Structure 1
Amino acid sequence: MKRSYLTTGFTLIESLLVLSLVSIMVTLSVGVTKELERELAIRHFFTKLDRHILLNHQASFVEQERVIMGRESGSGLIYFKVGEQSFILPVPEELHVSNFPPMNFTIGTGDKGQMRSFYITWEAKKIDISYNFLFGKGHYEKTIRKKT
């Protein structure tokens, strides 16, 4: 009895088709990964900003030290100063920060009628984020609006 083995191979066209499909899939995933990485960096920035605002505001009451929060003029840096310590938070290039006056958090110096605000614009997502600080009450309000 004679055994016959099926000896078939891939043609050049089939090999090129598979190679091109794999190349397209890899290229698309790299492009999507970079965009996702940028968006995650921006979301991480907002998480860190919210956390530092809350912690430094609370530190001004607990430690009874003066806390200064502001933006260095002409740069993309937000700073927090608590006594002798300072922390600098870099703002991602995709975001635009405007109207950010230095703010002092010190116990017993708040005016319930005084409100200060700063704004962050995320052009790629068409989102405006505003931070409104009501001094004397010890909290802030974050508002997120979609541009139309």
Structure 2
Amino acid sequence: MRPLVLALGFSLGCSLLFAALVAAQGRRGVPRAVREALVGCWVPWEGERWEITRQGETGLRARITYPDREALRARFRLRGTPRPHRASLTWVEEREQAQLACGPTTQHGQFCALRVDEEGELEVALYARGWGRNRRRGRLVDTVRPRRCE
């Protein structure tokens, strides 16, 4: 009986600690209006396609594929074949944006910030993470207004 109580107490304590850490970082589920605007299929750049779907009650998940590999190779000077991958979107409250690991997996440290403007249009900013002391801050590389898939 005692080991079970200890295990349950430890599990509850870890859950509360994780919830406190998430709250301290200002991250929570994506707001409903933003979720409704983001769900669907998007083409942010030629050669890259995002299929954003709901995940649970307040989350979003993206499946990133590369249907036009020649355009992608020209953009990144890639070798080989970029693999499709999945990523969860993280809501950053203080910036009012969702963040997503985007681009080919060969582009380490690259992420996109997704924001819905006043007119309901999606705006994407591509960041590259630095190295050394500025590793946590991203450097703005490009901004685009993606179009819906056909």
Bin for the TM-score computed over the shorter chain: under 0.3
Rg: which structure is higher?
A: 1
Specify which structure has the higher proportion of strand. 2
Specify which structure has the higher proportion of helix. 1
Larger relative CO (CA 8 A, sep 6+): 1 or 2? Answer: 2
Provide the TM-score with structure 2 as the length reference. Answer: 0.25
